[in-house]
Amino acid sequence: MADFLTPAERSERMSRIRGRGNETTELALARLFRAHGFTGWRRHRPVFGKPDFVFAAARVAVFVDGCFWHACAAHLRMPRTNRRFWKKKLDANQARDRRVNRTLKARGWRVVRVWQHELKRRNEARLVARLRRRLGTV
């Protein structure tokens, strides 16, 4: 397929895709929380780094990370075109994730990052076990 978009146009288009993808994965995690009896979470609280979910009482911030945008080692497929552009962008995303983790931890939060691929049904039991360990008594 010919790549007729400039990097800026592609970025804009991908960011709209990201918005939808994020919503889907967030809803999947919300469903999982409900199905497995996790309580005390809220979506989109005004907390540094914009966590997708917050367990305020336990001070746990949960992020759902897309395999592409957060450069999952198992699933990232770099686009064939504009590689330099994408590498720079994804590197910046990862640096921001690390900065958010550090800042939240310094402010007394526990940070849990859930990969998009962990929300696949075949990975669900493992994810639930991990969440229970990370969330402790929540």
Of the candidates 107, 26, 120, 24, the one whose C-alpha atom is nearest the C-alpha of residue 60 is 107
Measured from the CB atom, is 5 or 22 closer to Zn ion?
22
User: Does residue number 127 form part of the binding site for Zn ion (CB under 5 A)?
Assistant: no
In angstroms, the CA 50 to CA 132 distance is 22
Q: Which of residues 44-73 bind Zn ion (CB under 5 A)?
A: 67, 72
**What are the beta bridge partners of residue 42?**
54
Instruction: Considering only the stretches 55-63, 82-90, 101-109, 112-120, report the one whose residues sit in contact with Zn ion under the rule CB under 5 A.
Output: 112-120
Q: How many residues does the chain have?
A: 138
User: Does residue number 75 form part of the binding site for Zn ion (CB under 5 A)?
Assistant: yes
Measured from the CB atom, is 100 or 119 closer to Zn ion?
119
* Phi, psi torsion values for 135, nearest 5 degrees: -85, -10
In angstroms, the CA 105 to CA 84 distance is 32
Query: Coil, helix or strand for 30?
Result: helix
User: Does residue number 74 form part of the binding site for Zn ion (CB under 5 A)?
Assistant: yes
User: Does residue number 117 form part of the binding site for Zn ion (CB under 5 A)?
Assistant: yes
Query: Coil, helix or strand for 12?
Result: helix
- Closest approach, Cβ 101 to Zn ion, in A, equals 18
User: Does residue number 126 form part of the binding site for Zn ion (CB under 5 A)?
Assistant: no
* Footprint on this chain of Zn ion (rule: CB under 5 A): 67, 72, 74-75, 115, 117
